[in-house]
Structure 1
Amino acid sequence: MKIKNNIALIGFMGAGKSSVSKLLSERLGKTLVSTDACIETREGLSIISIFKEKGEDYFRQMESRVLEDLCRQSGQIIDCGGGIVMRPPNLSLMRLNCLVIYLESRPEDLEARLKNHTNRPLYNAERLDKMLKLLESRLPLYRAAANITISTHNKSCHEVCEEIEDKLREYENTSG
């Protein structure tokens, strides 16, 4: 079996999906698309504004529509929003149309990466306990969706990409 033509990167906010997907798209010669960027373009609003003005449920509906559209195309690295796994149809769609790579991060790494970010609608530095509960609720979904899991702990984007490329070769050899 040949590797599916799209690669979807999933993981919690701060896992490094955007940075890794950018580098990976360059290394593999695939088009980079971000579900969040697609939503912002369609809506003409930032993700934070969509959450504030239209709510999380509306955002998740848009996220599902964008994923459906992206899965109709091929040759892409899809940088998925951290909550894309919250809707079961998204999991099925990704598994059917993409090789799904879960970037797994430790909570302390996520906290360190996120502490200076103000553009994350579901992150609040004063409510670390809330973030940890959200992460805990999503972990089984990330793991269930993933074809490949890569730990990002103590690794640069280049190291993560090298590991992904190694896993892609292994996956192609064992799936054939």
Structure 2
Amino acid sequence: MKNIALIGMMGSGKTTLAEMLAEKMKLDYCCADEYLEEKYNRSIPDIFEKDGEDGFRKLESEAIRDLAKRRNIIIATGGGVILREENIDTLRENGFIIIFLNRSIESILKDITTENRPLIKEDKNRLLKIYSEREHLYKEYSDIIINNHDCLDETLDKLYNSVALLSNDKSDKK
């Protein structure tokens, strides 16, 4: 069966679409950020405040290692998961299809709240800077790029069809 990880910016729809895709494909679902908060019994803003971004990234890598051991799962990763190549290596080594869910900054800014997003809490416009720093990594590390144009059903169909095609291609090469 398939293991899938969605990568992309905060607010790109990873959590919502991962949950919808998991239901459609009859797979398990996990939000890496929620898993991290439950595992360490701390909120992400608290971790950022007390341990800094580097401390958070270390815990995030541990969470990815834990989640990557699971099978038949779709993981919605945190937006910065691509900042540590070890996270991508862990997902690949465990057979994950990595999908970059791309959404326009304008749409993201329209929809997100900043209260649980420490990197943009003080300045929503910082999102554009973060995106420009990360976009090439999202593209480099992904097996598939899906553009989310704000229609969930349409994006879900694109995700589902792309995974099916990629899965067939991989099984044909065996």
| Alignment TM-score, normalising by the size of structure 2 | 0.91
SS of equivalent residue, structure 1 residue 122: helix
Show the counterpart of 2:98. 100
Aligned residues of 1:21 and 1:32 also touching (Cα < 8 A): yes
Q: Would the alpha carbon gap of residues 122 and 31 (structure 1) be closer, same or farther in structure 2, given more than 3 Å must change? A: same
Aligned counterparts, 1:17-166, within 5 A: 17-97=14-94, 98-114=96-112, 116-124=113-121, 126-128=123-125, 130-156=126-152, 158-166=153-161
Note the C-alpha offset of 1:135.
Answer: 0.8
* AA in 1 matched with 2:150: N
Separation (CA, whole Å) in 2 of partners of 1:127 and 1:70: 30
**Alpha-carbon shift at residue 45 of structure 1 (Å):** 1.1
Partner of residue 169, structure 1 = 164
CA distance in 2, matches of 1:23, 1:167: 15
Shift of 1:152: 0.3
Q: 1:127 and 1:5 mapped to 2: Cα distance?
A: 35
1 CA distance for matches of 2:58 and 2:88? Answer: 14
Shift of 1:155: 1.9
The 1:154–1:40 alpha-carbon spacing in structure 2 relative to 1, beyond 3 Å, is: closer
Identity percentage of aligned residues: 31
User: Is 1:95–1:145's contact at 8 Å kept on the other side of the alignment?
Assistant: no
CA distance in 2, matches of 1:70, 1:5: 14
**Structure 2, unpaired ranges of 5+:** none
Structure 1 residue 82: Cα displacement: 0.4
| Structure 1 position 71, deviation (Å) | 1.2
RMSD between superposed Cα atoms in Å: 1.5
Q: Quick one: distance in 2 between partners of 1:61 and 1:124?
A: 21
Please give the alpha-carbon distance, in whole angstroms, between the structure 2 residues aligned to 1:31 and 1:101: 17
Q: Which runs of 5+ in 1 are unaligned?
A: none
For residues 168 and 45 of structure 1, the distance between their equivalents in structure 2, rounded to whole angstroms, comes to 34
Give the deviation of 1:19 after TM superposition: 0.6
Deviating above 4 A after TM superposition, structure 1's stretches of 4 or more consecutive aligned residues are none
Distance 1:37 1:166 in 2: 27
CA deviation string 1:40-66 (max 9, x = no partner): 112111111111112111110011011
Structure ranking higher on relative contact order (CA contacts 8 Å, 6+ apart): 1
